[in-house]
Amino acid sequence: MEAEIEKVILSEAAIKERVQNIAKRIVVDYEGKKLTVIGVLNGGLIFLADLIRHIPFTVKIDTVRVNTYLGDATYPKREADIVDNIRLKVKGEHVIVVDDILDTGKTLAKTLQMIKEQNPLSIKICVLLNKRARREENVVADYSCFDIENQFVVGYGLDFDNKYRNLPYIAVLKT
Ligand code: IMP
Ligand code: MG
């Protein structure tokens, strides 16, 4: 796997430190409140697991599975579909949705729309990476660990062709 890596842009140590800092902010903001954290599969899996272990109070966890279809010649529009919704009821709960990356915003726009139908008390977004240059939807990251350039990255949950999710750092692949 390592032979296919061009460059590490965020080291394991840098991610660890930043995730801890973001978790501290969440702890301050949600202490004493009813919190449900919802991870977006598959990409948000690693970040979700690391983040929630820094939360010292009771928190409920659930996941959604979202398929994002990349545009191509026959179907140029990039669209997101919820293929597996949350099982928990979030009415009366504060919700944080956790994903690996905020890119065009389609995935999180769709996820938020689904969750809002249940009337949670509040809903915020927490992402590891933010690619501002590519935004198409009006979605804002309330908590974001790193802003990155418009480049394709893998590792720490992010994949290319379902590979590289288990790398402990964020990297750019050789072309
Ligand atoms: P969206 O464009 O904001 O809907 O992002 C959709 C999904 O595309 C994200 O949840 C990621 O799983 C994936 N994605 C976006 N940018 C990258 C990248 O640089 N590497 C790997 N996956 C990405
Ligand atoms: Mg994803």
Q: What is the mean pLDDT of the chain?
A: 94
Q: Report the candidate in 44, 3, 5 with the shortest Cα–Cα distance to residue 169.
A: 5
Distance 101 CA to ligand 1 centre (A): 6
pLDDT computed for residue 159 by the predictor: 94
pLDDT band at 71 (very low <50, low <70, confident <90, very high): low
pLDDT at 122 over 80: yes
pLDDT value, residue 72:
58
The answer to the question of residue 55 being in a domain is: yes
Q: Tell me: the pLDDT tens digits for 156-169?
A: 999 999 999 999 99
What is residue 83's predicted lDDT score, i.e. its pLDDT? Answer: 85
Residues 46-66: tens digit of each pLDDT: 999 999 999 999 999 999 999
pLDDT of residue 70: 66
Verdict on whether the full-model pTM lies above 0.75: yes
Q: Is 169 within the bounds of a domain? A: no
Do residues 99 and 115 make contact, with C-beta atoms less than 8 angstroms apart? no
CATH code of the domain containing 83:
3.40.50.2020
Is there a domain that residue 157 lies in? no
Which atom of ligand 1 is least distant from the CA of 151? 19
Looking at ligand 1, which residue's alpha carbon is closest to its atom 5?
Answer: 103
Task: Please indicate whether residue 45 or residue 75 has the higher confidence score (pLDDT).
Answer: 45
**Lowest-confidence range among 19-28, 82-91, 120-129?**
82-91
For position 2, what pLDDT does the model report? 83
Flag whether 116 is in a domain.
yes
Classified as helix, coil or strand, 112 is helix
Please report whether residue 93 resides in a domain.
Answer: yes
Domain span at residue 103?
Answer: 12-150
Does the residue 122 lie in any domain? yes
Look at residue 56 and tell me if it is in a domain.
Answer: yes
CA dist list (Å): 46 to 15, 64, 91, 119, 136? 11, 14, 26, 27, 25
* Gap from CA of 104 to ligand 1 centroid (Å): 8
Q: Is residue 31 part of a domain?
A: yes
Total domain count for the chain? 1
